[in-house]
């Protein structure tokens, strides 16, 4: 793709890629999508609205690509707020020189993911910028959804005694991206867990309507979510290493790289905090869903050490799972 020169011809080409790909999800091309309020109000009592920018290197990786990530990420951001996603928009920034095939593949992936999720991409925009002004391809997606009546979730709502759940093995996405990026000479079939979680979350809310908090454990991993939760709720979090699901190959990968899987990004994992009496129902609902087979209760909310996340190690010791300011900088002197 070329920037400038070709001007509107090029724009048309790009639009064509997206419009063709999104055919069936998008109605007549207008500058905005329009929603019937009555239909939305039938589904809940509040609107949810979110946006996120996606940059990832490489664009394609085991288990996904930037397009799938952009669709799932925004769907998940809506869902963890207790909303049923209604529609997405997308804005695409393309670096001059990106192969049309690459763009086509990303667009197709977005369309497929959105189609499978049942959440249409209803409007969008594309821009081509000069070489070096962006790195290959940036995508921003925005979504609206309707929050189910009665659902009240928030980062400050955790109470001592509550149970911390995850819907499966942690760190797969971060490990897959590093592995795909690094040419690390490791034999591994680690793949990103990238997935749209709104269906799973819907089942979770049905089973555990008292759910206090849900977050998708993306950047900074489960460690970042739990530290934010501990600070905002004024509680402690006590994790059990032996109950925390991590694939053996991800664990091994992390040991070699000197990384802690709790800090690795996930794109198909949530952290949910539920009151103790709903733990069983919540776990059952998660495990019954295809994206929750590996669900586990990994720890508990405590009133000791407020603001702090502590992990009980396999050997009976304890370690602090801190929020990191820098990258995982070495500390030993």
**For other proteins, the closer CB: 280 or 306:** 306
Select from other proteins, Fe ion, Mg ion, none the partner in contact with residue 136, using the beta carbon and a kind-dependent cut-off of 5 to 8 Å: none
Q: Which residues pair with 50 in a beta bridge?
A: 143
Cβ at position 322, least distance to other proteins in Å: 7
Residues 154/266, Cβ–Cβ less than 8 Å: no
248 binds other proteins (CB under 8 A): no
Residue number with the smallest Cβ distance to Mg ion: 52
The DSSP bridge partners found for residue 128 are 94
x/- mask, Mg ion, residues 24-63, rule CB under 5 A, reads ----------------------------x-----------
Q: Is 228 in the site for Mg ion (CB under 5 A)?
A: no
Q: Which is nearer to other proteins, 46 or 319 (CB)?
A: 319
Query: Judged by CB under 5 A, which stretch of 5-13, 162-170, 275-283, 325-333 contacts Fe ion?
Result: 325-333
Measured from the CB atom, the residue of 60 and 279 that comes closer to other proteins is 60
**Run of H or E including 166:** strand 163-166
Does 258 interact with other proteins (rule: CB under 8 A)? yes
Q: Which residues pair with 317 in a beta bridge?
A: none
Q: What is the DSSP letter of 323?
A: P
Which is nearer to Mg ion, 77 or 162 (by Cβ)? Answer: 77
Element (H, E) at 73: helix 66-79
Closest distance of CB 316 from other proteins, Å: 7
- Where b means 16+ CB within 10 Å and e means fewer, 238-265 reads bbbbeebbbbebbeebbeebebbbbbbb
CA atoms within 13 A on the CB side of 269: 34
Integer-rounded Cα Rg, in Å, for the chain is 21
Instruction: Kindly state the tokens that stand for 130.
Output: 């000069």
Using CB atoms within 10 A of its CB, is residue 183 exposed (0-12), middle (13-18) or buried (19+)?
exposed
Cα dihedral 275, 277, 279, 282 sign: negative
- Give the nearest distance from C-beta 305 to other proteins in angstroms: 7
Select 138 or 253, whichever has its Cβ closest to other proteins.
253
By the rule CB under 8 A, 185 interacts with other proteins: yes
> Which residue in 48, 66, 205, 259 binds other proteins (CB under 8 A)?
259
- Closest CB to other proteins among 31 and 187? 187
Q: Based on the shown chain and the rule CB under 5 A, indicate whether residue 333 belongs to the binding site for Fe ion.
A: yes
Residues 147-166 binding other proteins (CB under 8 A) are none
What does the alpha-carbon distance between residue 149 and residue 170 come to, in Å, rounded to a whole number?
31
Please give the residue ranges that form the binding site for other proteins (CB under 8 A).
Answer: 178, 181-186, 255-259, 305, 308, 310, 315-320, 322, 324-333
């Amino acid at each position: 793709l070329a920037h400038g020169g070709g001007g509107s011809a090029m724009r048309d080409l790009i639009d064509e890629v997206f419009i063709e790909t999104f055919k069936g999800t998008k109605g007549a091309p207008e500058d905005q999508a329009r929603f019937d309020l009555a239909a939305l109000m039938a589904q809940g009592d509040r609107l949810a609205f979110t946006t996120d920018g996606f940059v990832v290197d490489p664009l394609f990786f085991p288990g996904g690509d930037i397009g799938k990530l952009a669709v799932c990420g925004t769907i998940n951001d809506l869902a963890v707020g207790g909303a049923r996603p209604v529609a997405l928009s997308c804005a695409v920034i393309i670096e001059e020189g990106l192969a049309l095939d690459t763009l086509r593949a990303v667009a197709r992936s977005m369309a497929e993911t959105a189609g499978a999720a049942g959440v249409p991409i209803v409007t969008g925009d594309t821009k081509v910028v000069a070489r070096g002004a962006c790195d290959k391809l940036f995508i921003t997606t925005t979504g609206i959804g309707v929050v189910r009546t009665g659902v009240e979730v928030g980062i400050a709502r955790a109470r001592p005694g509550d149970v911390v759940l995850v819907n499966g093995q942690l760190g797969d996405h971060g490990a897959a991206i590093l592995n795909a990026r690094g040419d690390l000479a490791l034999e591994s079939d680690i793949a990103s867990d990238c997935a749209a979680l709104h269906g799973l979350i819907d089942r979770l809310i049905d089973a555990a309507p008292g759910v206090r908090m849900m977050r998708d454990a993306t950047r900074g991993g489960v460690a970042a979510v739990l530290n934010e939760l501990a600070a905002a709720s004024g509680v402690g979090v006590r994790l059990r290493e032996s109950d925390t699901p991590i694939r053996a190959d991800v664990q091994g990968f992390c040991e070699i790289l000197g990384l802690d899987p709790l800090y690795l990004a996930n794109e198909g994992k949530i952290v949910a905090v539920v009151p103790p009496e709903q733990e069983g129902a919540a776990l059952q609902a998660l495990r019954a869903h295809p994206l929750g087979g590996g669900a586990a209760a990994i720890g508990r909310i405590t009133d000791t050490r407020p603001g702090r996340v502590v992990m009980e190690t396999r050997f009976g010791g304890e370690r602090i799972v801190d929020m990191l300011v820098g990258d995982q900088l070495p500390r030993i002197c």
